[in-house]
Structure 1
Amino acid sequence: MHRTVMNRLCKSGHTQKALSLLRLMEQENTKPDVYKYNIVIDALCKDANLHAAINLMNEMKQKGIPPDVVTYSSLIDGLCKLGQCEKVRTLFFEMVNLNIYPNVNTFNILIDGLCKEMKVQDAEEVMKHMV
């Protein structure tokens, strides 16, 4: 139920309310899982609030909740949209080093971001790895 409410809040532009619900859950017996964190992280990224999204991912790591491919894909997408290619590269290698393998969505985000930055050769290289 919490996940549905959080998802609806984020999709209707109420990311801070969803974050407040997440904080409330952290204080109560209903501990949020990676899926609930991902909903808020993705919304923060879509709001271009990457600093808060990265901080939230770091918090979940400290609480023993490992990020997954969705967490990293959301952050990579947000960073790509802000043109922060070096941070994308760092995050991507962190993800792979943790044995979290990119999926088709992750690769599409990377290729799209690189093409928008006019780094077509890099995008082609990513596509070769994808295949």
Structure 2
Amino acid sequence: MQVLNKIEGSLVKPDVVMYNTIIDSLGKDKLVNDAFNLYSEMIVKGISPDVITYTTLVNSLCIVGHLKEAIALLNEMLKSIIPNVCIFSTLIDGLCKE
């Protein structure tokens, strides 16, 4: 997250791709709360999450075994974003590893 703070202090404006990259890294390190805090921050800053954002968050939840929350997040996403095969594959993979 220090990287994002440095980027925000420069001339480069963080976008959804930058946020997704950091959220993905946090999730892979099992720092799910930090990933969701960053997700909330991007929304507050007016950066709309995309299907990749949700896929990385679903994957993060699956990694730590929070499958009900992963399904709930997918359902939240479906209200405003068209899913792709990757998010369903991520969730199925997480469910199969349970």
User: Normalising to structure 2: TM-score of the pair?
Assistant: 0.92
More helix per residue: 1 or 2?
Answer: 1
For residues 60-71 of structure 1, what are the structure 2 equivalents within 5 Å?
60-71=42-53
Cα contact 2:28–2:63 (8 A) shared by 1: no
1:102 aligns with 2:60: no
1:32 aligns with 2:14: yes
State the match for 2:97 in structure 1. 116
What CA distance in whole angstroms lies between the structure 2 residues aligned with 1:52 and 1:61?
14
State the match for 1:77 in structure 2. 59
Q: Secondary structure at the match of 2:89?
A: helix
Q: CA deviation at 1:31?
A: 1.3
Structure 2: 5+ residue stretches without partners = none
What CA distance in whole angstroms lies between the structure 1 residues aligned with 2:59 and 2:44?
23
What CA distance in whole angstroms lies between the structure 2 residues aligned with 1:109 and 1:21?
27
What CA distance in whole angstroms lies between the structure 2 residues aligned with 1:55 and 1:40?
11
1:54 aligns with 2:56: no
What CA distance in whole angstroms lies between the structure 2 residues aligned with 1:78 and 1:26?
25
Root mean square deviation of aligned Cα: 1.1
Matching residue's letter, 2:87: T
User: Normalising to structure 1: TM-score of the pair?
Assistant: 0.70
Q: CA deviation at 1:29?
A: 3.2
Greater C-alpha Rg:
1
Once the two structures are aligned, what percentage of the paired residues are identical? 47
Q: Deviations over 1:89-129 (max 9, x none)?
A: 221111111x2122111111111111222xxxxxxxxxxxx
What CA distance in whole angstroms lies between the structure 2 residues aligned with 1:85 and 1:46?
16
Q: CA deviation at 1:67?
A: 0.6
Structure 1: 5+ residue stretches without partners = 1-18, 118-131
